[in-house]
Structure 1
Amino acid sequence: MPSLFDPVQAGELQLANRIALAPLTRNRAPDAIPTALMAEYYAQRASAGLLITEATAISHQGQGYSDVPGLYAPAQLAGWKQVTDAVHAQDGKIVVQLWHVGRVSHTDLQPGGGQPVAPSAITANTKTVLIRDGVPTFVDTSAPRALAADELPGIVHSYEVAARAAVNAAGFDGVEIHGANGYLLDQFLKRGSNQREDNYGGSIENRARLLLEVTRAITAAIGGGRTGIRLSPVTPANDAYDADPQPLFDYLVKQLATLDLAYVHIIEGATGGPRELDDRPFDYAALKAAYRAAGGQGAWMVNNGYDKALAEQAVAEGADIVAFGKPYIANPDLVARLRHNAPLNTPDKMTFYGGGAKGYTDYPALAA
């Protein structure tokens, strides 16, 4: 029986262990450009089997928070290259999470101060982060406009261009498509945010269309073995909601099974909250079974609220990789701490979003 610390294959990625750094937005990329401090942060955590970067915008339109990185300008690619070089120098593996926030944005962050875009013109009941004079402030998202059907091929193309640049210019080992947490692709999936009446709305097949078009374009560009995808069937994050998620996500993973993905990354329950929601029951075992029955061979990654005991149980029950989020903020050497049952550092919540090295790269590792 495999353990949490055994190697695992995820598509073309040979991982040293089954522990992943989950994507964690830290708002430390001024002007959307990754920095040397970010390179230090990720290199500190390179003992994870897989590092998944913070969500990274595929275009200026895809930006939704202050000081989060992008992947659409030369300076951004150069910034990310110093990150991937630092991680690879530590024998780590790193993929970038590709992001378009859709309606979870603010006019201050959009090209020309325009409206954010969405499947339908429905404002998200959530907040974003603007950093002004170095101070992060939570503000309501702006009212979006509905995307026209003829704009959608351009968004698919932006994902494809970003994926090629990530691998060929920025040096990433692969990409993870962010199809979760109430951002653009998830907005199209779920009825609460998608009230379209064209080929991208209504039926399950139509609502899944954009996510599948994006995934097919990326796998054609860089290969399925370098492509992962993140899904969150029931999280309420960013006002995401669908009254009947099981058939929707069962259909979706059956389609994804044909694309030879490196991995499927599932958020169980509410992102950063309860693993089970009384008002949103979901059968994750059935979801995985649907993927495997349809021929899906990608590694199965689970995420949300895992500690060592729960992670070991998940691996024993068939999970291939377990993603850890908040524990990695304060514990760059989390793999060693889990292996040796060492105590964990406590994160400083005041430094989660924005700032410098404090609460970012200054957490102590275990004594040698």
Structure 2
Amino acid sequence: MSSHTADAHVIDPAGGCPHALNARLRSQGAVAEVVLPGGVPGAVVLGHDALKEFLAHPDVAKDARHFPGLHDGTVPPDWPLRVFANAQGMHTADDADHRRLRSLVGNAFTARQVARLRPRVEELTAGLLDDLDAAAAASPDGVADLRAHFALPLPMSVICELLGVDREHRGRLHHLSNTVIVSTDTTPAEVMAAVRELVALMGTIAAARRAAPGDDLTSALIAARDGDGDRLSEAELIGTMRLMLVAGHETTLNLISNAVRALCTHRDQLALVREGKASWSDVVEETLRWDGPVSWFPFRYPTRDVSVAGTVIPRGTPVLAGYTAAGRDASAYGPGADRFDITRRNGRNLSFGHGAHYCVGAPLARLEAGIALERLFDRFPDLDLAVPDAELPYQRSFIGNSVQTLPVRLA
């Protein structure tokens, strides 16, 4: 890979449904050269086995000090994707720093701790189903947006309660995280303004917990010391809170939305669950594989020239993890990889990552999505899309993978 060749794929910042593009690029190889927005050369790993190898590779880092272009003037200061590279937290740390930061939050997401959240998730789900029903009843055509009334407020409420975020901030936090993290077609000025406001709001939340500590993750992070007796730096604290908040709701929002779309357009699969021939956990896992919540996720950087599936990725290249591409790789999932089939038994998908940076919140996301889907279809067994799936407006992002709105009829 050179600085970039003429046949490198130029990424559209507006994103859209990724599957046709993934198939086209994957047919040419497991790794593709890309041009990131702003003309920055990069790469994406698309094949399942190649991505699994790359994510756990000992010579691949997440700290942006390994991305020379960010520091030598090659990449402009207002590059919109700097927000991913410059964030401070466990998702951009390596080795001992990563282990230190991860251990501080990991205790909140153990299987035992997540199991303790089940009654609260069930309680929130029941209340939101009432809200969804009321929204549909109040609409002249009986249609309600399932994302706005159900798939968003459920994980947002859970993660904000875990972090000790007051209710008044939640709407703004989602708007800001969507602007900063999900939407990749925003202008540099919009991104920078949203980053500043998001950091300031996180600082406000942290200050409230400093003044009145509670039984929440933010209070625990503020109080935590590592083995050397050092507190988290303010940047690490804010970065960790931001990661928890964004990853804790945007991905689950997309997972629930994509599962509902898949079941509504594959009624035979929904029937299998209703007949007890498959579980809601099967639905969650197949949705993660077939239409995962995150498409191409930034960034990792080879610390030396690294060969992946026969392609050399030069040291310092910003590399995207092609999760939606890996999920439909026929070499891993067979000739029916493009088919939504909740009875498949193909092992664990890569949608939550692999290796040291495997998503710490995966057990919580699985719990929330499983409860949400089961209760939704128990309450509204005839729920269906109010607009054909192909006509739903897609997220304007090559990072997030879902639709902007999900209008449904409940009966």
TM-score (norm 2): 0.24
Normalised to the residue count of structure 1, the TM-score between the two structures is 0.26
The structure that is strand-richer by fraction is 1
Which structure features the higher share of helix residues? 2
Structure with higher Rg: it is: 2
